[in-house]
Structure 1
Amino acid sequence: MSLVRRESLAEQAADLLLSRIRDGEWNVGDKLPGETTLAPALGVGRSTVREAIRQLAGQGVLVSRQGAGVFVTALDIPENWDAVLHRADIVAVIEARIAIEVEASALAAERRTPEELEDLRRALTDRAHHRVDVEKHVDTDMAFHRGILRAAHSPILLELFTHFAPRNRRAMVDMLRDRGDHGDDADQATHERIYDAIDSRDAGLAATLTRTHLNTLKELLIR
């Protein structure tokens, strides 16, 4: 029980310290007073101050520098990744996809295994068979692109794509419903060409085709 109370007190101290930072008592780059000054100012002990500082450091507000002290690095707790993506303009998401998927396509052309190529072919075929239902079309399209990320053998790029996936899916479904058409022959042919470039290990062509495809998608979104 004492541990629970101590954590609760540290959280309260962290909230109070953050409030004073928000109010402008310290700016970014400023050094905080030492524990012996902060403890009575916050009405807690030095161990609680240390825990409060650790919490705010973990949230990106403070940084402890060995031998130098504690410094302010942000005036508020940065928004978490999911909150940022939820509000992100879909055009910004597509721009991020360009940065991720162009490189991934080139890497996939260089690194894909025969098994991964078979998975991509199945995903492409599945995509071609789901052109009527918007949600199924978007899901099969994303499965194809995710297959490219897996074939790239880049865990970080795959993780970034996964973070963008829910926001991208919602936007694509909404956009295609508004347009009233999707999955035409030209669009499917573009994906076939991307697959062929990966199959033939042409990294440059795979990257170029992916960039062109996503830039075309971006133009459709801003019309």
Structure 2
Amino acid sequence: MQPVQRTSLIAQVTDLLRTEIRDGRWAVGSKIPTEPELTELAGVGRNTVREAVQALVHAGMLERRQGSGTFVVANSDLGSTLGKYFADAHERDVLELRQALDTTAAALAARRRDDTDIANLLQLLDARRKSWDDAHPGAIEADVQLHRAIVVASHNAVYLEFYDSLLSVIEQGIRQRTAKSGESFHEEHAALVHAVIDGDAERAAQSARCFFNELLAIYPD
């Protein structure tokens, strides 16, 4: 990230931060650098950085979380618009949409995953299991990031951008279901990840489909 010229500073820093998000250096679901770090990176004062971050909060690309920091929730204005639309959707409707998305993404990932994807999936699967078993506050985020990593492994940019627009809704749904049942679904996630790693598209799709059938079973038709 290069220091900006001192003209229209807020607009320039806002564009700078937006570029970091759009280019994937700050992934959806990740926490952005702290205000002092942003000040150093951009070469401007704290007030300018604060205004630039607020502009992206208003645009729906960033979200402030009390006590946790500021997180990326969309990598484009389109993604934030879709996210706002889905925020009011019924949980079952979102799950049915996710079943279609995750099933196709799993099959594509099994065909296209590379060594980097495999290493990332194994790391995230292990992190998810440990965080759930330890009742860690980041357990829900670990779950979301694992599912997103499968979409990343599909190597379909359009699929990934659409999926990213759902992340905040996905996280909210997982929190609600976890509060009700506390079910970890360790074996289901392991089966899905290893089917992708093994390159078995049919098994990967079936694992994703069966997992969502279990989730949907608690909702009446």
TM-score bucket of the superposed structures, by smaller chain? 0.5 to 0.7
Q: How far is 1:133 from its partner?
A: 3.1
Counterparts of 2:136 and 2:164, CA distance in 1: 20
Counterparts of 2:137 and 2:209, CA distance in 1: 24
TM-score, normalised by the number of residues in structure 1: 0.59
Q: Pick from 166, 169, 172: which aligns with 2:171?
A: 169
Show CA shifts across 1:181-210 (max 9, x none): 231xxx111111111111111000000110
Structure 1 ranges of 4+ moved more than 4 A? none
State percent identity of aligned pairs: 23
Q: Which residue of 2 aligns with 1:195?
A: 193
Structure 1 residues not aligned, in runs of 5+? 1-79
Q: Which one has a larger percent helix, Structure 1 or Structure 2?
A: 1
1:109 paired with 2:107, answer: no
1:138 paired with 2:140, answer: yes
Counterparts of 2:218 and 2:168, CA distance in 1: 19
Q: How far is 1:104 from its partner?
A: 0.5
Q: Select the structure of larger CA radius of gyration.
A: 1
Q: Which residue of 2 aligns with 1:159?
A: 161
Show CA shifts across 1:49-83 (max 9, x none): xxxxxxxxxxxxxxxxxxxxxxxxxxxxxxx5333
Q: Which stretch shifts more, 153-162 or 116-125?
A: 153-162
Q: Secondary structure at the match of 1:220?
A: coil
Q: Is the 8 A contact 1:134 1:177 kept in 2?
A: no
Counterparts of 1:135 and 1:218, CA distance in 2: 25
Q: How far is 1:99 from its partner?
A: 1.3
> What is the RMSD of the two structures over their aligned residues, measured on CA atoms?
1.8
Closer/same/farther in 2, CA of residues 221 and 138 from structure 1, 3 Å limit: farther
What is the one-letter code of the residue matched to 1:142?
V
Show CA shifts across 1:7-44 (max 9, x none): xxxxxxxxxxxxxxxxxxxxxxxxxxxxxxxxxxxxxx
TM-score, normalised by the number of residues in structure 2: 0.59
Show CA shifts across 1:127-172 (max 9, x none): 0101143752221111111110010001111111111110121121
Q: Pick from 149, 159, 164: which aligns with 2:151?
A: 149
Q: Is the 8 A contact 1:127 1:140 kept in 2?
A: yes
Q: Is the 8 A contact 1:91 1:222 kept in 2?
A: no
Counterparts of 2:197 and 2:209, CA distance in 1: 18
What is the one-letter code of the residue matched to 2:100?
A
